[in-house]
Structure 1
Amino acid sequence: MGLEYLTFYQGNLETGFDYIYAKKKDDHAFYVNAPAKLDLDIMDMTDEKFDFSQKNRLQITIDKDLRPFSDVWQNITFQWPNVERQLLAITADWADDYAKEPVGPVEEWGLTIKMTDQEPRIIVGYNEFPDNFDQLVRWLNSYAQGKLR
């Protein structure tokens, strides 16, 4: 069993949604941070062409669907085992649904975790969060700053 991919989103209809994607494909793994301000399309992690690597650089620049992401991806191949370990540790006791009646703007979020030979686990919430939710957000966003783990 191993982590194939994760997708995380957070935001609302007013401000837009920040998306983070991470995926292991063949001999490499990549991370994409797509903040709401970039107004990028939501990507399908199961799409074979959603693939970012140095050897795939030319395809990224000419493909109309991949080109908008060309400046927001990173190679995390050697970090992938730690990504899997950290993700599973943080979310180990998370429920699949978190919901609290909104008293103001709704803050939606979701996390999809796909492990090999298993159906994807989808965790969603609005206006309610697991106790260590901020830890997950800080950790996922730290990759965008190019920090090595």
Structure 2
Amino acid sequence: MGVSVRIRVEVAGSVQNEDAPQLTEAFARWLVQDRSVGPHVEISRIRSEADDGAMSAGLVEWLALVLNSGFSAASLVYSHKTFRASLPPRVQSAVRLVVEHGDSRMVVEAGSAEEAAQITHLLMGTGLSGQAPGPAGGTLSNSGADGDS
């Protein structure tokens, strides 16, 4: 059994955050097709609660990943970076990757090697105390999850 982590796409700035669930779902499909990530993770979709009277749950809010041997945090960061580059130019700079493991959370902004190293530390449960800016603009926090599931 591997390490469990939750990820989602977040949209910042002037682009509407209502696009985030569709982008999270699109990123899930992207990860499945990415040969450096897909074979090393099991992906489950965490959907929003069903609206009153609705028969099924809402849009994808989070992706739950179970990371198996051979997984590389750098591959996840690179996959998100290339996914973001495939988006329309007005959306690219607004898209962030949110990674949660236990009570720790990280926002990947630049897709840098430093952020990949920070995710590795997050997954290992080391180096997180309070909130500290990452060297490439990412933010690490152990303030807890926002309760979406």
TM-score normalised over the length of structure 2:
0.32
Report 1 or 2 for greater relative contact order, CA contacts < 8 Å, sequence distance ≥ 6: 1
What TM-score comes out, normalization by structure 1 length? 0.32
